[in-house]
Chain A
């Protein structure tokens, strides 16, 4: 199979994925957009409504069997996640399930990252959001997904068993007095294939303090 065949196979697999929005709905919304531009006084309020409509929580698969651990050292491991300090000074957090938030919090703090890790809705009230630099969070944390091959080298019955969330933390990008707040929550979503357990992870920059992140550094 050459590259063109491979790409053709990938493209073919998407044939069934189609837009479900009728053109009439797009036209109606387009007219609203046009009208909004003509009414600058109302723009803020309408944009607020549009923003709320787009506020969809993005989730990752949960409740799936954990895949193999990366063979990087030194590594601190728990069943649900892995924390690895990398040679370039970054800290790689591989998340399978965010159980035991206190354990993850301890490990991050031990690695020098001022952090507060809780379940969603149980965020530490001592933590105050750091809003001074809106672009800073992108520099401090790089979220991505990694596909980890099963130990046998052949795919298992669950196609997602090797797909994990990876957060790379750049401690050097954290200004003095700023820390990280992680909050995670579980939810369920229903699709044609059944009920999926899903987990959303929220990140925030916060002012570091002994009460919030364990240190003021």
Chain B
């Protein structure tokens, strides 16, 4: 394996899960997100010399995946991009019967947010992007990012049940 491949493979192993989580929250469907992220990583490898010099290569991957999703939406036209929490959040997993899925109430709360708020939250949560970089990835103003994040956090606070032990007596 050449040094470029080694570098890319290390980048992939370090960032693929968080990129997937970011895109899952943005598009609302695990299988769709996996396809989009795989395609974006393949494009990143094809242009690795350029992408590796990017200040935040994982953000490049996520942006490529989200752009591909928009292109797919325009190409297909007939599909309504509706999230499918049933495929993401498996109640059995929460009960410990299976591993690897997302807590259903939290997923439902995230999917209840407007799409842009979900994207802002996901970029902050999983890629730890600051306001400026998030604004670049999404092509919006930094002040808009701040407003979306504040609204999203307020909405999540309202939608996600606080664990009983943390409710003040």
Contact A3 B90 (CB under 8 A): no
User: Contacts A11-B126, A17-B101, A19-B16; is A147 near B87 (CB within 8 Å)?
Assistant: no
B136 in contact (CB, < 8 A):
no
Residues of A within 8 A of B (CB): 1, 3, 6-7, 9-11, 13-14, 16-21, 23, 25-27, 29-34, 37, 50-51, 53-61, 134-135, 137, 143-147, 155, 159-160, 162-163, 165, 167, 183, 189, 191-194, 196, 198, 200-204
Partner of A50, one of B37, B39, B101: B39
Contact B46 A192 (CB under 8 A): no
A37 to B13, CA, bound (A): 26
Contact B30 A27 (CB under 8 A): no
User: Contacts A54-B39, A160-B108, A165-B80; is A134 near B74 (CB within 8 Å)?
Assistant: yes
Determine the main DSSP class of B at the interface with A.
Answer: helix
Determine the main DSSP class of A at the interface with B.
Answer: mixed
A167 to B81, CA, bound (A): 11
The interface residues of chain B lying within 8 Å CB-to-CB of A137 are: 77
Q: How many residues of B contact A (CB 8 A)?
A: 80
A196 to B112, CA, bound (A): 20
- Which residues of B90-121 have CB atoms within 8 Å of chain A's CB atoms? 90-93, 98-112, 114-115, 121
